[in-house]
Amino acid sequence: MTPDLECTALTKRFNDEAAVDNVSFAVPQGSFFSILGPSGCGKTTIMRMIAGFLPPTSGDICIKGRSMLNVPPNKRPVNMVFQHLALFPMMNIEDNIGYGLRRAGLPKPEITRKVGEVLERIGLPGVGKRKVSELSGGQKQRIAIARCMVLEPDVLLLDEPLGALDLKLREHMKIELKALQAAFDTTFVYITHDQSEALVMSDQIAVMNNGRFEQLGAARDLYYRPETAFVAGFVGDTNRWPAKVDRVEGGALQLRTDSGLTLHGASHGRALSRGDRADVYVRPEAIRVAHTADELSQFDNRLSGQVTSILFNGAASRILFRDDAGHEEIEVTLPQSGEFAMLEKGARVHIGWSGAHGNCFAATTAAAGA
Amino acid sequence: MKRNSFTINLARSAGVIGLIAMAQGTSAETLRLLTWGGYAPQDVIEKFEAETGHTVEVTKSNNEEMIAKLRATGGGGFDLAQPSQDRIAGPQAEFGIYKPIDLSQIDSSLFIPSMLEATKKNTTVGGDVYGVPHVWGTSGLVLDTSKASTVTDYTDLCNDDVAGQVSYRLKRPTLIGFAFSMGLDPFAAYGDEDAYTEIMQKVEAKLKDCKPNVKTYWGGGDELMNLVRSGEVIAAMAWDTGGWKLNDDNADITFVAPDSGALGWIDTFVLPAKGRADQAAYDWINFVMQPEVSAMITASAGNFTASKGADAYASDELKAKYQNSFPPEDVDNIKWYPPVPAGLEAIEGGVLDRVKAAN
Amino acid sequence: MRAQARLGFILLLMPILLWLTALIVIPHIDMFLISLRERVGVGEYATSTANYRTFLGEPLYLVTFARTAIMAVTATFITLLIAFPVSYYIAKMIKGRLQSALFLMCLVPFWVSELVRTFGWMILLRETGLFSNLLQWSGLASGPVEMLYNDAAIMVGLVYTSMLFMVVPLVTTLESLDDSVIEAGYDLGGSGPSILREIIIPHATPGIVSGSIVVFMLSLGNYLTPTMLGGKDSLWFTELIYSQFIVRFNWELGAAFGFMLLILSSVIVWAMLRLTGQTLEKTMG
């Protein structure tokens, strides 16, 4: 089956600076595809090229197998939900939603019917005569989506549409967006710099950095099996230590960090040999904390030391730990059982983790921390 | 009369009258002079201030503006004004904006007697004399004699051979000039509104006929000078000084007294009704009428004054131009404006409006 | 407490009230009273509506009145037509220093006086002027071309003089229109003209109306441009007022004319607001 959206070797240069550098991907019909990356990584440029506001320097964009290169934005079967929604303030809700239909030349009764239907679907029947300014942030969000969806586009582009909402509403809208996407059964392409938005909603996520896709995959793969140091650092929280490889035994490595700590790690198939510089990434939740060293005997990395700080955040509470020898400070997630709920600063604890959770990447100069 | 100030500037300054009135006046030593451009040159002012200790503040204007300004304040804001002698009796009767001149304060020996007497007669209202003469001149034709040789009178401006290259003002001197050149005598009809209306109707018809010939109705002296200097206009109705000035640049252009006679005007000295520095005003009159001072004013304004003996100080060049434009018989033929009775402006205004509106 | 607050409010309001009363209300009342006077003899006056009857009975005055209104409306419209693309370009198409530079260039003509600006046009348009010479030099005209002294020259002068007053409110309102709203229009299938009609113009309406009101009033009340650039047939109502006040000494008729002009501009501004569904508060605030 032809993918709804397919980009081939897409490149965009601004004054010789590659904003998007040779990016290829395909989005299957009906899926929720996210592009996740820090600001300035080129994700907005991709989106604007797909929408037709920017011509690519080279490469191709196909929607349902048809090249869009010489199609102007108003003729493309894609619609876009803008970052600040860009509802038309001079029109009421009904006219906002009906705008595209009027432009398509539909007869009036049909426009009225379709607008009514879509308002029904987004759960806001009867707001048609209201002004844009009379709606709440979440309602506007839904209107912006409805305004696009009423045109039944092949692909809906969403440019960080949740950015302007407050935290609670944002959490709520994540779920709602996903539900809307399922309800409309339309291909969504979503760009964001917020990993939790991408992780929660997407079927597939592309992590983007410096104009390139670092990794493309499902949320779980990105989280647990990052393929690049950037992904490991960008997606989820992590401890990161620069180190040197001391010994290689198949996929298992022994490394010494710059501060002198000896660790076990795993190369997961990446080429690393003795003497190489490497970065070790360990997720805080991969580290187990215990009152006695015995409880951690199954782990090949074990340390004893003190709690230097408690970062209380309900279920996601963490501690900062420093071992007795005074090496790096290590971030550790507390188990949700409540076992360590009463832990005090300065308490003696033991920590340990499996070497397989120590993701090792050849050292880069520009690895980002999350 | 030098009319090179732009009407709009005057319109603007009209709004300032009130402020001027407030800002000035505690010192009787300050002479607020309302006059024409060129009538109070800086060197004369400096000499006067040095000699008398008074200070002089000059506001440049024209006939209509002077009267409008004085009317707005009931004759206040200025200590000495210089309207033409024909525009004193009418406005005085209507608006009472002047005060009589104390002739004993004026050194009458400085004036050309005939001109002084004529002005006194024309500016007498209710037995009081309101004006004494200062500068005089004529208006007639300014021609490029190489191209507009057929023009010898005002009505010749309507000739076909100068079509599209003619300019005059849409103001009362034009009406009077055309009337004379059509063989009528508007001055004789001044006292008779019906007769005057009849004359004006004839002039109106003539001016309407003549309108296609006109390039534009000029408004300010500078505008006319530009039109003639650039060659866009070759025949115009204008003041003698304008023609003489243009003659300096182009020998073909000069002032010509029309067959029916140039129109003569005399600008005067009058005291505004609420003037506060009468002594300074009299001092100024007596000072500028001295022959050598008058000659300085002639040099600046381009026109001769009513000062006796000032001719001796005038430049030979100007005298030559004057004699060239005015052979003796033309001097006798000058039509001096008699006082305008109140109310004539309304008749003339209607004519001017209709001419402007005609197609 | 309340009385004190009230007193403070009144005291704060005093300067503006005094200003308005002294400079606008009192002169207008005085002018209205003058306009109701009729001269019956030397220095004698009677109260009557004769001046207004004169105005209504004399075709010349009515024609000039209507002509001035139509020309001012036309000038406003032309100014809008030229200023809109210019403003759109300044507000939307360019950014940064070039934007400020262009905006400044709109302001430059106002560094010289209106008189000098009008003279500039006279130099360009006159028969021996720049344009005429240029046309002859390029062979487009065989002889000198007179472009001065007609209604088109008046129009050019009025539009030129008014441009800034249209550009400023337009740029301000257009700048407040989010670029993404225009993009959304394209994205949803809108074409250039439909976006202009349905999105940009509705958004810019307050700016268009306030700019038009200012330009219309400036054009209607302009004196210098029509008198200097206009031809021998060009009548302008302010010219009539001037000549009644200054040349004819007929303040009574002049005052009546002034009042008619005030009524005319009020009616047209009111009509303009009604037509566009705007209010004065919305456009001027």
Q: What pLDDT digit, counting tens, does each position of A152-201 carry?
A: 899 999 998 887 778 888 888 888 888 888 888 899 999 999 888 899 89
Question: In whole angstroms, what is the distance from residue A359 CA to residue A239 CA?
Answer: 10
Q: Which residues, including other chains, have CB under 8 Å from residue B310's CB and lie 6 or more apart?
A: B291, B292, B294, B295, B298, B304
Cross-chain Cβ contact B8/C249 below 8 Å = no
Phi (first) and psi of residue A100, to 5 degrees: -65, -35
Chain A: residue whose CA lies nearest to C181: A86
Chain C: residue whose CA lies nearest to A54: C183
Q: How confident is the model at residue A99 (pLDDT cuts 50, 70, 90)?
A: very high
Q: Does A217 touch chain C (CB under 8 A)?
A: no
3-state secondary structure of C227: helix
Tokens of C177: 């229109």
Residue spans of the domains in chain B: they are: 7-136+264-336, 139-263+338-357
Chain C contact residues (CB < 8 Å to B): 42-43, 60, 63-64, 115, 122, 126-128, 146, 148-149, 223-224, 227-228, 231-233, 235, 240, 242-251
Residue C277, min C-alpha distance to chain A (Å): 13
Residue A72, min C-alpha distance to chain C (Å): 9
B–C: how many Cβ contacts below 8 A? 82
Q: How confident is the model at residue B26 (pLDDT cuts 50, 70, 90)?
A: very low
Q: Which residues, including other chains, have CB under 8 Å from residue A208's CB and lie 6 or more apart?
A: A23, A35, A36, A37, A41, A42, A43, A46, A214
Mean pLDDT rounded to a whole number for chain A: 88
Tokens of A301: 């990395």
Q: A87, C183 in Cβ contact below 8 A?
A: no
Q: B64, C245 in Cβ contact below 8 A?
A: no
Q: What is the mean pLDDT of residues C57-79?
A: 92
pLDDT in tens, C11-21: 888 888 888 88
Tokens of A99: 């705008």
Q: Does residue B3 have a pLDDT over 60?
A: no
**Closest Cα partner for B342 from B171, B125, B130?**
B125
pLDDT in tens, A334-359: 888 877 878 888 889 999 998 888 88
Q: Does residue B5 have a pLDDT over 60?
A: no
Question: In whole angstroms, what is the distance from residue A186 CA to residue A149 CA?
Answer: 9
Residues of CATH 3.40.50.300 domain(s) within chain A? 5-230
Q: B250, B143 in Cβ contact below 8 A?
A: no
Q: B182, B206 in Cβ contact below 8 A?
A: yes
Residues of CATH 2.40.50.100 domain(s) within chain A? 238-362
Q: What is the mean pLDDT of residues A11-34?
A: 91
Classify A211 in phi/psi space as left (phi over 0), alpha (psi -120 to 50) or beta. Answer: left
Q: What is the mean pLDDT of residues B74-103?
A: 91
Q: Does residue C9 have a pLDDT over 80?
A: yes
Q: B221, B3 in Cβ contact below 8 A?
A: yes
Residue type, C262: L
Q: Does B208 touch chain C (CB under 8 A)?
A: no
Mean pLDDT rounded to a whole number for chain B: 86
Query: In terms of pLDDT, which residue wins out, A325 or A98?
Result: A98
pLDDT in tens, C167-210: 999 999 999 999 899 999 999 988 889 999 999 999 999 999 99
- The confidence score (pLDDT) of residue A364 equals 66
Taking contacts as CB-CB distances below 8 angstroms, the residues of chain C near B214 are 232
Q: Do chains B and C touch (3 or more CB pairs under 8 A)?
A: yes
Please tell us whether the domain made up of A5-230 is placed in CATH 3.40.50.300: yes
Question: Sign of torsion, CA A216 A219 A225 A231?
Answer: positive
Tokens of A54: 């920017």
Q: Does C22 touch chain A (CB under 8 A)?
A: no
Whole-structure pTM value? 0.80
Chain A: residue whose CA lies nearest to C202: A90
Residue B191, min C-alpha distance to chain C (Å): 15
Residue A245: alpha-carbon gap to chain centroid: 31
Q: How confident is the model at residue B31 (pLDDT cuts 50, 70, 90)?
A: very high
Residue A22, min C-alpha distance to chain C (Å): 25
Strand blocks (E) in C7-127:
37-41, 44-47
- The confidence score (pLDDT) of residue C248 equals 79
Taking contacts as CB-CB distances below 8 angstroms, the residues of chain C near A82 are 180, 183-184
Give the Cβ contact number of residue A341 at 10 Å.
Answer: 11
For domain A238-362, give the fold: OB fold (Dihydrolipoamide Acetyltransferase, E2P) (2.40.50)
**Class at the top of the CATH hierarchy for domain C58-284:** mainly alpha
Phi (first) and psi of residue B93, to 5 degrees: -65, -40
Strands A32-36 and A204-209: parallel
For domain B7-136+264-336, give the fold: D-Maltodextrin-Binding Protein; domain 2 (3.40.190)
Chain B: residue whose CA lies nearest to C230: B216
Q: Does residue A3 have a pLDDT over 90?
A: no
| CB-closest option in B6, B93, B345 to C248 | B345
Q: How confident is the model at residue B191 (pLDDT cuts 50, 70, 90)?
A: confident
Taking contacts as CB-CB distances below 8 angstroms, the residues of chain C near A87 are 181, 184
Question: In whole angstroms, what is the distance from residue A360 CA to residue A195 CA?
Answer: 22
Cross-chain Cβ contact C242/B345 below 8 Å = no
Q: A205, A217 in Cβ contact below 8 A?
A: yes
Q: Which CATH superfamily is domain B139-263+338-357 in?
A: Periplasmic binding protein-like II (3.40.190.10)
Question: In whole angstroms, what is the distance from residue B180 CA to residue B277 CA?
Answer: 41
| CB-closest option in C184, C189, C202 to A90 | C202
| CB-closest option in C115, C232, C248 to B217 | C232
Q: Does B342 touch chain C (CB under 8 A)?
A: yes
- The 10 Å CB-count burial string (b at 16+, else e) for A270-287 is bebeeebebbbbbbbbbb
| CB-closest option in C127, C224, C244 to B232 | C127
Local structure of residue A335 (DSSP, 8 states): P
Residue spans of the domains in chain C: they are: 58-284
Chain B: residue whose CA lies nearest to C225: B8
Q: What is the mean pLDDT of residues B71-100?
A: 90
**Closest Cα partner for B273 from B88, B13, B29?**
B88
Cross-chain Cβ contact A74/C190 below 8 Å = yes
**Closest Cα partner for A158 from A297, A317, A33?**
A33
pLDDT in tens, B138-155: 999 999 989 988 999 999
The A residues from 129 to 168 touching C (CB cutoff 8 Å) are 147-148, 151
Taking contacts as CB-CB distances below 8 angstroms, the residues of chain C near A88 are 181, 184-185, 198-199
- The confidence score (pLDDT) of residue B325 equals 85
Question: In whole angstroms, what is the distance from residue A281 CA to residue A95 CA?
Answer: 52
Question: In whole angstroms, what is the distance from residue B337 CA to residue A286 CA?
Answer: 114
Cross-chain Cβ contact B357/C250 below 8 Å = no
Q: In the complex, which subunits touch A with 3 or more CB pairs below 8 angstroms?
A: C
Tokens of C228: 């200097």
Q: What is the mean pLDDT of residues A293-305?
A: 87
ipTM of the complex: 0.78
Q: Do chains A and B touch (3 or more CB pairs under 8 A)?
A: no
Cross-chain Cβ contact A147/C194 below 8 Å = no
Q: B223, B168 in Cβ contact below 8 A?
A: no
Question: Sign of torsion, CA B213 B219 B221 B222?
Answer: negative
Sheet strand arrangement including B30-35: B55-60, B30-35, B80-81
Q: What is the mean pLDDT of residues A138-149?
A: 89
Q: How confident is the model at residue C285 (pLDDT cuts 50, 70, 90)?
A: low
How much of chain A exceeds pLDDT 70, in percent?
Answer: 98
- The confidence score (pLDDT) of residue C284 equals 63
Question: In whole angstroms, what is the distance from residue C173 CA to residue C193 CA?
Answer: 19
Residue A341: alpha-carbon gap to chain centroid: 31
- Rg of chain A over all Cα atoms, to the nearest angstrom: 25
Cross-chain Cβ contact B8/C233 below 8 Å = no
Local structure of residue C247 (DSSP, 8 states): I
Q: What is the mean pLDDT of residues B81-104?
A: 91
Query: In terms of pLDDT, which residue wins out, A274 or B82?
Result: B82
